[in-house]
Amino acid sequence: MITLVGILHVFVCLLLIGAVLLQGGENVDITAAFGGTSQAAFGPRGSVTLLAKITWVLGLLFMITSITLAVHASRVGGGSVLETAPAKSAPAVPAPLKK
């Protein structure tokens, strides 16, 4: 089951990267490139595009699979990495310099 969630997580991650890269920025018109004001920045926003909705859904799936994998790793893995770290040891003393 957790292998399926891991595979789904990687697949959703790749789709999310693609969806974000396909979208244009808010100020994509030529006036914004030369310091002019853009109507998109200060005017009313248009309707949400299909690509934006897909990005929201993929982002939600990415968060759900991330939390699922993190909870599973904390239950199976036995706790934090810091709890299983070795005890502190004295720092290594550097060798004397030869002249």
Contact 61, 47 (CB under 8 A): no
Q: For residue 29, tell me if it sits in a domain.
A: no
Q: For residue 61, tell me if it sits in a domain.
A: yes
| pTM of structure | 0.61
Residue type, 2: I
pLDDT digits (tens, 9 = 90+) for 78-95: 666 667 767 777 777 888
pLDDT digits (tens, 9 = 90+) for 29-78: 555 556 655 555 555 566 778 888 999 999 999 999 999 999 998 888 76
Which range marks the domain in which residue 19 is found? 8-23+48-75
Question: Any idea which residue has 């789904």 for tokens?
Answer: 8
Report the distance separating Cα 9 and Cα 16, nearest Å. Answer: 10
Q: For residue 68, tell me if it sits in a domain.
A: yes
Domain count, the chain: 1
Q: For residue 89, tell me if it sits in a domain.
A: no
